[in-house]
Amino acid sequence: MLSRLTFAIISRTHQTGDVDALNEVILLDRDALGLYPDMQRNRRPILDCLAQALLARAQRTRSFEHLEEVVALHREVLALCEPEGEDRCATAENLANTLFTVSQQTDQPDSLEQAINTYREALAVCPSEYAHRWSILNNLGNAVRTRFQERGGMHDLEEGAMLQREAIATCPISHKDSYKPVNNLAHTLLTQFQQIGGVDQLEEAITLYHKAIALCPVGCLDHSWLFSGLATAVLIQFQQIGGLERVEKAVRYQREAIGACSLSHPDRAKLLNNLGLALRTQFEQIGGPDCLEEAILLHREALESVSAQHMDRYKTLNNLANAILIQFRQHGGLDRLHEAIGFLRQTVALCPPGHSGRSSALTNLANAIRARFQQTGQKDDLDEAIVIHREALSINPSGHLHRLTILENLGNALRGQYEQTGESDRLEESILLHRDALSSQPAGHPGRPSTLVNLAASIRARYQRTGGSDDLHEVITLQREAIALYSPRHLHRTSALNNIANALLLQFRQTGVPDTLQESIALQREALDLHPLGHMDRAKALGNLANVLLVEFQRTGGPTLLEEVIILHREALTLCPDGHQERSIALNNLATAIMIQYQQTSELGSLNEVVALQREALDLCPEGRPERSKALNNLALAIRAQFQQTGDPNGLKEMVSLQRETLNLCPTDHPERSNALNNLAVAVRAQYVQNGELRLLQEVIALHREALTLRPNGHPKRSATLNNLAIALRTQFEQLGGNINELIALHREALKLCPPGHPKRSSTLMHLSIAVQASYR
């Protein structure tokens, strides 16, 4: 009688969430247990009732302090069972279920292995005709999938799917819980897809989620999780093949999940988080600040609903922090960035060494701190980010599920460090890390395209330093493979298109082949088509297309091209209001285009607009910002043009001052030092032309000589540097006389680097001719 009452109340609690009756039956079970001495067989059903009731209460209230008692109760029941038979089988499964719960709710790492072993023991003694055999198969499948998620090992994932297929085959379709193995197989297939790809698996997972929803009894609390799981699968499908209607479906399904759970539902916080994640994706794709604001509010509500000791609090903190980071990207505000980092530090604190969530918590914190470095230029932030990434890598040995992501993040951070310091060993380590990640992602692995992109980015940085044509060829090869692996509407195809377009632009500048430039333009137009109005990255796509069209204009001189470039940049700037993270870039891009327009028209109004735009861009890059050196240089170039128009000596003085500050921000080995040397040389030469001081000409020659040492054979700008140095030496020769052979030799070397068809060949021939004629005079 007591057993029937206990299980009836457990079932009602599962349906309604009410625990008051459950508390009452727990008291009755405890009283009844006191009537039977230890090891008496009549004690067994009451032990089982009490254990099941305690576990049900723990799962419903998320209060797990009695789990050890539940384990002890089940072990006592197991000791009273016969060595074989249905009773032992059922008791072993109950013990395994409790051990699995312990593994998920506490930091006892051996509990999961104990659960798996106990499930296997239950199967071993389970009669073939046992009605609940499917339940053991299903639960064992969940346990081995969980082990995969914590430790890696594809064999666990494969076994999980096999077990759950067998569970579906053996569970009567009329059983009230027949939806459970269907739902769990969908989850396993989704996990499998995320590891090894395979569109068929993703489509099957979605079909199974729909089937599970249809099988789930009306009013069952699990409806919430079924809809949430379906929404997650549909979002992943969107990331693979596009279709904004899938994002809208995912949001709708998540809203249905929330609607199906009460305010007291123990998993409400998770469901709030899931809806927030879907709304964030909707915001990223179609814009609309309301989506992002609602997402942040949902994450905040979720955080308020979980206690400081809640096992999932770290996930909620992480989700809220990531949403705030997106808001920071859109609207700026270091206070947002600081708040996000604060939440992520709390996340790490809640994931001590040994915690399954520690590596992802460390990775997210490191990425946020690196984002702050990009805003403030504080070197300590970049150093801390790399230290944190290294810790994350150290706790994820070879073969671990999260290792590939950590290799990628550390590689990207090291490339960023190289870009700041010029330390080539950082760049080489970055390349090695990305190659390590790629070697673990064979053809068909869903993570392979992004790894190809990251490896190409680091090799491209090396090419820009050394000019090695082999590096550029490898970059283009890697980017083409990445593009081929992304479906036409894949979420990350746009960045891959931009990357290969930029690499082709570099190749055009090296070879002058027009077809290369045309392909780059076509790729950037395709990328813009994937960023409709409202997309959070549309401004970037507009700027990227405009920049490559500007190169085409410089090649062909078509006036309509320049008009299109300016229109694109103006639209991009309107999408980057005050506080937007990309505003300084948009200002600079528009200024560059208008500067070229000024060079065509000589309208002083255009030039004044360029200077105003570059001054605003510099104001957005205060001291310490990594982009300050570029902003200084761009303003200096605009003021140089203004000086050439007006002859204002104050403009010349400011231009030289800006270029000297630029050079100071590019120490030895900095990848931009050679450009800074060249630009300062041009500015100082203008001063020399004004006042004729020989020391200024000698400084110009010294600056060009240093720049040439930083542009070895193969560097794309070596020929220009050879010519610049030769022209300065010719000026010195004209003033002082001396040996003219060096400058002729420099021009000859420059000519060898400009084969027939090269855009600079004619000007190089002219300079060589002038130098040779001067030698005869």
pLDDT of 770: 86
Over residues 174-196, the pLDDT tens digits come to 999 999 999 999 999 998 888 87
What pLDDT was estimated at residue 261? 82
Three-class secondary structure of residue 267 per DSSP: coil
> Of the CATH numbers 1.10.1330, 1.10.1660, 1.10.3470, 1.25.40, which one belongs to the domain with range 621-708?
1.25.40
Give 560's Cβ-side CA count (13 Å radius).
0
Residue 176: C-alpha distances to residues 53, 89, 127, 216 (Å): 20, 21, 22, 7
Pick the range with the lowest mean pLDDT from 11-15, 155-159, 315-319, 395-399: 11-15
Report d(CA 10, CA 53) in Å as an integer.
6
Q: What confidence score (pLDDT) does residue 12 get?
A: 59
Within 602-648, residue ranges assigned H as helices are: 604-619, 628-646
Distance CA 206, CA 232 (A): 9
Q: Is the CB of residue 548 less than 8 Å from the CB of residue 528?
A: no
- SS3 labels along 329-356: HHHCCHHHHHHHHHHHHHHHHCCCCCCC
* pLDDT, mean over the chain: 87
- Cα dist from 506 to 449, 487, 674, whole Å: 21, 25, 17
Q: What is the pLDDT of residue 404?
A: 87
Listed in sequence order, the residues at least 6 apart from 470 whose beta carbon sits closer than 8 Å to its beta carbon are none
Neighbours of 110 (CB within 10 A): 10
Q: How many CB atoms lie within 10 A of CB 305?
A: 14
DSSP code of 83? S
Is-contact 591 638, C-beta < 8 A? yes
* Residue 410 confidence (pLDDT) above 90: yes
Q: Any long-range contacts for 38-43 (C-beta under 8 Å, 24+ apart)?
A: 39/79, 39/80, 41/80, 43/80
The SS3 call for residue 701 is helix
Confidence check: pLDDT of 720 > 60:
yes
pLDDT of the residue at 260: 84
Q: Tokens for 642, please give them.
A: 């203004």
This model's pTM is above 0.75: no
Among the listed residues 194, 195, 171, the one whose alpha carbon sits nearest the alpha carbon of residue 183: 171
Confidence check: pLDDT of 17 > 80: no
pLDDT confidence band for 37 (50 / 70 / 90): low
pLDDT in tens, 432-452: 999 999 998 888 777 888 999
Mean pLDDT for the stretch of residues 656-676: 90
* Rounded Cα gap, residues 62 and 55, in angstroms: 10
Q: Band the pLDDT of 152: cuts 50, 70, 90.
A: confident
Q: In whole angstroms, what is the distance from residue 320 CA to residue 322 CA? A: 5
Three-state DSSP at 126 gives coil
Which residue stretches of 216-357 are H helix? 223-241, 244-259, 268-286, 289-304, 313-331, 334-349
**Token reading at 262:** 């009460």
Which among 1, 378, 519, 444 is positioned nearest to 196, based on CA atoms?
444
Q: Determine which of 19-23, 305-309, 534-538 has the lowest per-residue pLDDT on average.
A: 19-23
- Judge whether 613 and 588 are in contact, CB under 8 Å: yes
Residue labelled with tokens 């990331």: 239
765 or 71: which leads in pLDDT: 765
**Three-class DSSP category at 580:** coil
CA dist 139 and 118 (Å) reads 11
Residue bearing tokens 């020929």: 719
Note the helical H segments in 125-266: 133-151, 154-170, 179-196, 199-215, 223-241, 244-259
Residue 620 has pLDDT above 70, yes or no: yes
What average pLDDT score do residues 531-552 get? 91
CB 510 within 8 A of CB 472: yes
Among candidates 303, 350, 304, which has minimal Cα distance to 322? Answer: 303
Q: Which residue has the tokens 């001067």?
A: 774
Question: DSSP readout, 386-406?
Answer: HHHHHHHHHTS-TT-TTHHHH
Neighbours of 559 (CB within 10 A): 10
Annotated domain spans of the chain:
621-708, 717-777
Question: What would the pLDDT profile of 337-390 be if each residue is shown by its tens digit?
Answer: 999 999 999 999 999 888 878 889 999 999 999 989 888 878 899 899 999 999
Taking every pair of Cα atoms in the chain, the longest distance, rounded to a whole number of angstroms, is 122
Q: Give the SS3 label for residue 647.
A: coil
pLDDT of 573: 94
- Between the alpha carbon of residue 58 and those of residues 54, 95, 415, the distances in Å are 6, 15, 48
Residue type, 305: S
685: Cβ–Cβ under 8 A, 6 or more apart, which residues? 696, 697, 700, 728
| 167 CB neighbour count, 10 Å cutoff | 25
Q: How far apart are the first and last CA of the chain?
A: 120
564: Cα within 13 Å, side-chain hemisphere: 18
Q: Strand, helix or coil at 757?
A: coil
- Its sign, for the CA torsion 346, 349, 354, 359, is positive
Q: How far is CA 729 from the centre of its chain?
A: 49
The CA distance from 604 to 674, in Å, is 31
Residue keyed to tokens 């299980």:
7
Asked if 269 and 306 touch (Cβ cutoff 8 Å), the reply is yes
Q: Which residue has the higher pLDDT, 401 or 259?
A: 259
d(CA 687, CA 659): 13
